Amino acid sequence: MEAFDQTIEEGLRRQYARRLFKPFAKAVAQYSLIEPNDRIAVCISGGKDSMLMAKLFQELKRHNKFPFELVFLAMDPGYSPANRQRIEENASLLGIPLTVFETDIFENVFHVEKSPCYLCARMRRGHLYAKAKELGCNKIALGHHYDDVIGTILMGMLYGGQIQTMLPRLRSTNFEGMELIRPMYFVRERDIMTWRDENGLDFLRCACKFTERQADPASEGGKRLKVKNLIHALEREDPGIEQNIFKSVENVSLATVMAYKDRQGVRHRFDEEL
């Protein structure tokens, strides 16, 4: 196990450095995601994204440019014994020291018909914030990557009637002194999948009780998959589409939009000053 972990770490320094570690480090530097003396809860769901994020954090800490601490935090929201075991075995295989705590989120949202995934995600995040703060952390890190970001932008426009994105850094409004960071912001999903497959790793994909619902095109998961496939199709026809979607929320001209909401949620229309 230790030898395999060393092989994984060596790979992140060599063949995967350009595609994985460098974009990870770029996001950390560009958005000031880590600061001296931070204590960061690296949130592990058991999937490929969060497991890789944990390894990239370990590699970053190895460089030791300034002091910060890591807690590798895994929440069990009601996994089956087999899925719980797989998470723990993968963490051991990769040399990730897990701190696991349990909740009953799956049970609480199982009978919710409308937007159970949204509710589950919000509850998960609340529990992660609370546990991280209890453990003395001031930040939680989530494994959302570049493709999640552009998917969210298009999802918001097509299904939510709004322009929004996942921010790389976000101050919590409910947990004082806590922040959420997304250091995988520039990492592409295809590169994560290559790293996973070339190392023969098998992570959880969807371990919740709603997996069967995701095939329904009307479900939240079905819509997200549809948008993901649409983006890929557009990119194949016109390379650069993905990058343009990403950049669109960096180039918003308030002078040419019909209306917008400020940070306090106050709505402003284009004709207010006409």
Domain ranges (residues) in the chain: 2-250
Say what the pLDDT of residue 212 is.
45
Say what the pLDDT of residue 239 is.
96
Residue 123 banded pLDDT, cuts 50, 70, 90: confident
Per residue in 132-150, pLDDT (tens digit) is 999 999 999 999 999 999 9
What is the average pLDDT score of the chain? 90
Domain range 2-250, CATH class: alpha beta
Say what the pLDDT of residue 53 is.
98
Higher pLDDT, 46 or 208: 46
Say what the pLDDT of residue 5 is.
79
Residue 11 banded pLDDT, cuts 50, 70, 90: very high
Indicate whether 178 pLDDT > 70. yes
Q: What is the pTM of this model?
A: 0.91
Per residue in 200-248, pLDDT (tens digit) is 999 987 655 555 444 556 567 788 899 999 999 999 999 999 999 999 9
Indicate whether 120 pLDDT > 90. no
Q: Which DSSP letter does residue 14 get? A: T
Say what the pLDDT of residue 218 is.
58
- Order of strands across the sheet that contains 69-76: 98-102, 69-76, 39-44, 139-141, 179-181, 169-171
E strand spans, the chain: 39-44, 69-76, 98-102, 139-141, 169-171, 179-181, 259-261, 267-269
Measured CA to CA, the distance from residue 116 to residue 170 in angstroms comes to: 23
Measured CA to CA, the distance from residue 16 to residue 191 in angstroms comes to: 8
3-state helix, strand, coil in the chain (%, to 5): 50, 10, 35
Say what the pLDDT of residue 230 is.
96
Say what the pLDDT of residue 233 is.
97
Say what the pLDDT of residue 100 is.
94
259-261 vs 267-269, strand pairing mode: antiparallel
Higher pLDDT, 153 or 102: 153
Q: 6 by DSSP, 3-state: which?
A: helix
Per residue in 60-112, pLDDT (tens digit) is 999 878 899 999 999 988 888 999 999 999 999 999 999 999 887 777 666 66
Residue 263 banded pLDDT, cuts 50, 70, 90: confident
Q: 268 by DSSP, 3-state: which?
A: strand
CB 148 within 8 A of CB 160: no
Considering only the C-alpha atoms of the chain, give the largest distance between any 2 of them, rounded to a whole number of Å.
68
Beta bridge partners of 115: none
E strand spans, 29-172: 39-44, 69-76, 98-102, 139-141, 169-171
Task: Note the residue count of the chain.
Answer: 274
Say what the pLDDT of residue 121 is.
78
Output the CA torsion sign for 202, 207, 211, 215. Answer: negative
Residue 125 banded pLDDT, cuts 50, 70, 90: confident
Indicate whether 271 pLDDT > 70. yes
